Amino acid sequence: MFVRVEHVRTEEEYIGDDTPREECGVFGVWAPGEDVSKLTYFGLFALQHRGQEGAGIAVGDHDQVVVFKDIGLVSQIFDEPTLGALQGDVAIGHTRYSTAGNNSWDNVQPMYRVSPNGTDVALAHNGNLTNYVELQREAVERKLIPADGVEGQGSSSDTAVVSALLADAIRDDVTLLESARQLLPRVKGAFCFMVTDGKTLYAARDPHGVRPLCLGRLERGWVVASETCALDIVGASFVRDIEPGELIAIDETGVHSERFADAPHAHCVFEYVYVARPDSVVDGQSVNSARIDIGRRLARVAPVDADLVMPVPESGTPAAIGYAEESGIPFKQGMMKNAYVGRTFIQPSDTLRQLGLRLKLNPVREVIEGKKLVVVDDSIVRGNTQRKLIRMLREAGAAEVHVRIASPPVKWPCFYGIDFASPGELIANHGRGGNEEVVAESIRTMVGADSLAFVTTEDMIASTNQPASNLCAACFTGEYPLGLPEGNHNADLVRRLQKGENAS
């Protein structure tokens, strides 16, 4: 059952839209006797960094599944009365950034379907599918979704397609588990699915393990989440990572596991660089430790004579700490971040829009005035944020601004769950054809830094303590381990670039 909220918010505006857009976060809990809706709320709160466009919770009580969702932040959507009305033994939740399907209410998750035999099915998904067009065509032919994807007639997302196919196969002689066994081997790309029929919690991770997924233990139940930080916030103890290609089912008899496919691992390296929270552990590696180590390596390969090291908060902080420790240059907070800005539902005027980054970050003049700065950031995408940031620091009195980036140049779009720009919009491609030094110098000139350097791909990978063969670094290298999707304009551009053709 859906509870639909008719929101009256204006179109959302990002304050500083140059950062990579995270994909989504999923959370599930099976815990009879516990307040599963509130546990899911707090779990989603911990995963808010993975998506800020919409959120939803589905709760099952054996008789039915109730879904409540809306556009906005978790704290804007749910309140005590709403959570109090969502009673049951099992729940799944989702916080969303729209990498597939536009940002409408229909596309907010969890998705809800009723099977031919009357079984309620709710599904939440983190990632992107590479064979979405094939699956969509099948769902349209079977009249499970509208052919034109018209607004108001149902979701246009890959999650909606999977939900429709999964639910439609359930009959009196075919259970939800059996339907999942049939469908999952046919789904290609990056995915973590959380599914419930109101009785059992199901979770699946794609055979490559692109996106993280972990299992935790409550005193009276179990939790599955995108990151371990969500386990921490609800008081669950970490048990293990869900393995790539694994499907688990949790009910009163415990946790049951089976494999639905095997494939070479391709964990997303950008989880360690930017996406995951520093207090999470991804596939056995502390994210905070990986980022600090990246900073240390960056200091070795790109030293600079400076007075202080400062991060672009908050994502640049661990790498900046590592850079300072390795270089011996003092670490200081040279900018303050307004934690309550980042997503606003108020349309700013033209005058306020010009403030841009200042609404989010503001220099601490007494710290930086007259100083030679090493400014550490996690990545550069289009370069707009860095250009404005460097101008702000100079206006605040910085003598020199040396930029150090804790990832290699982003040259290729992601088709597995992170919304990078098209190849032509990425600032690193303005120097396409040159070596890394040429690219860095080109970017330095465009953003106005005194010097600029990136960590190498080899050093970034070494900091994860994962074999290079187990990682996906396609956004840096252009090598796509899961292949490219069909019917995608950016994927067609990439194919042409890989062949050495002009993609303009």
**Is 192 among the annotated ligand-binding positions?**
no
Report the chain's mean pLDDT, rounded to a whole number.
Answer: 88
CA distance 470 to 264: 7
Torsion of CA 299, 300, 306, 309, to 10 degrees: 20
Confidence at residue 338, expressed as pLDDT on a 0 to 100 scale? 77
**What residues form DSSP beta bridges with 190?**
128
Instruction: Identify the helix (H) or strand (E) that includes residue 84.
Output: helix 80-85
**By the 8 A CB rule, do 165 and 144 touch?**
yes
Element (H, E) at 463: helix 457-463
Name the catalytic one among 24, 192, 214, 229.
24
Q: What pLDDT is attached to residue 147?
A: 78
Say if residue 161's pLDDT is above 80: yes
Tokens of 110: 């969890």
Asked whether residue 229 is marked as a ligand-binding residue, the answer is no
349 is in an annotated binding site: no
Confidence grade of residue 434 (pLDDT, cut at 50, 70, 90): low
Pull the structure tokens for residue 399.
Answer: 């003598």
Cβ-contact 442, 491 below 8 angstroms = no
Q: Please say if the pLDDT value at position 418 is more than 60.
A: yes
- Residue 377 assigned as binding residue: yes
Q: What is the mean pLDDT of residues 131-135?
A: 93
Is 305 assigned a ligand-binding role in the annotation? no
Residue 496 has pLDDT above 90, yes or no: no
Judge whether 24 counts as a catalytic residue: yes
- How many helices (H) and strands (E) the chain has is answered by 17, 26
3-state secondary structure 352-397: HHHHHHHHCEEECHHHHCCCEEEEEECCCCCCHHHHHHHHHHHHCC
Closest to 226 in 3D by CA, of 473, 20, 24: 24
Is residue 220 over pLDDT 60?
yes
Q: Tens digits of per-residue pLDDT, 299-330?
A: 999 999 999 999 999 889 999 999 999 999 99
Q: What is the pLDDT of residue 424?
A: 81
The reported pLDDT for the residue numbered 7 is: 37
